[in-house]
Amino acid sequence: MKQSTPVRSLALAALLACAGAAQAQSSVQLQGLIDLSAGSFQAPGAAESTKRVENGSMTTSYWMMRGKEDLGGGLSAIFSLESFFRADTGEAGRFGGDKFFARSAFAGLTSDKLGTVRLGRITTPLFVSTVVFNAFGDSYGFSPVVRHVFTSGTVSGDSGWSDAAAYTSPSFGGLKADVLVAAGEGNGGRNWSAALNYGIGAFAATAVVQDVKKNDAGVADTRTWQAGAAYDFGLAKVFAQYTDVKNNSTGVEYKLADVSAAIPVTTAGKVLVAYGEIDASGVNPDRKTLSLAYDHYLSKRTDVYVAAMQDKLDGAATTGKSYAVGLRHRF
């Protein structure tokens, strides 16, 4: 029997409604950030500075593809594939030989009531704590605490762990817990980390412990703990961190302290200032780093910045002095 026009219209509307509902239940996003700057860069002890275009001075450039599907009953499936790149040369990764999805590569399940479980390559709670509780964020170029924790030979292990399983609890009155375990597959170590994070209103705090086991790749056996706090006074948001690293492979202990502030000076711009130091036991040299920057947002997605840093390593012939002018764009 031939359907009438009204019947066909109703059937088409029903199909479109079903398609719309299916699309609403799942989503995939492509996004990222590109950070490029030009300036002069000098490491402590280097005889001369080098002038160059630099990738990722304030944030390491990356792109990501992530998705979420509503499974019903408050449960969702999630995934994320995240890759670093060097925009100054067009190469993938943070350095030659870096993993393609070094930033993250995981799948998992999440529930507002039960928390989130992830499997794959996962960012460590220590890295998250370090970048959240300092005014310069995840700046490998100018954040004293990021440089001291992850590029000064103190903490062992990367900012993300492969072959890992993670659990993040729901929030209980502003308190959340994170647990991360990495299996000892291949030449990887049997590593674990746990964190408590609290945030209500203008105040936030964190406490993290991380244990990295020595493995066939030559990674040192280290135990690290870190405490951090932040308070937004309105006129300035102030951060403080303390990190203790015990290297069981060498017997050296590192004590790291950092204070920083983000000070709004216009509706679109803020001054960033940070000071950090490493107190190393034994014959290892201490390190003191001071950074200053101005960050101005041209829009919600684009900002420009100017930054300077003085980096002093005890016993080094020269003090490192670096400065740069840069642009960040989020897409």
The per-residue pLDDT for 35 is 98
Handedness of CA 5, 7, 10, 15 (dihedral sign): negative
CB 322 within 8 A of CB 49: yes
CB 294 within 8 A of CB 269: yes
Flag whether 10 is in a domain.
Answer: no
Using CB atoms within 10 A of its CB, is residue 195 exposed (0-12), middle (13-18) or buried (19+)? Answer: buried
Flag whether 20 is in a domain.
Answer: no
Flag whether 33 is in a domain.
Answer: yes
DSSP secondary structure string for all residues of 167-229: EEPPPBTTEEEEEEEE---TT---EEEEEEEEEETTEEEEEEEEEE---TT----EEEEEEEE
The per-residue pLDDT for 25 is 78
CATH value at residue 315: 2.40.160.10
Flag whether 5 is in a domain.
Answer: no
Domain that holds residue 111: 28-41+50-330
- Asked whether the whole model's pTM tops 0.75, one would answer yes
Flag whether 15 is in a domain.
Answer: no
Flag whether 17 is in a domain.
Answer: no
Beta strands in the chain (DSSP E): 26-41, 50-55, 62-72, 75-86, 91-92, 104-111, 115-123, 160-168, 175-182, 191-200, 203-212, 222-232, 237-247, 252-264, 269-280, 287-297, 302-313, 320-330
Count of domains for the chain: 1
The per-residue pLDDT for 184 is 76
Give Cα separations from 138 to 159, 200, 252, 309 (angstroms).
11, 22, 26, 15
Longest CA–CA separation in the chain, Å: 93
Flag whether 226 is in a domain.
Answer: yes
Q: Which mean pLDDT values do the consecutive 10-residue runs of the chain (331 residues) have?
A: 48 47 74 98 95 98 98 97 98 96 98 97 98 98 98 93 96 97 77 97 98 80 97 98 95 97 97 97 90 98 98 95 98 96
Flag whether 22 is in a domain.
Answer: no
Distance CA 102, CA 158 (A): 9
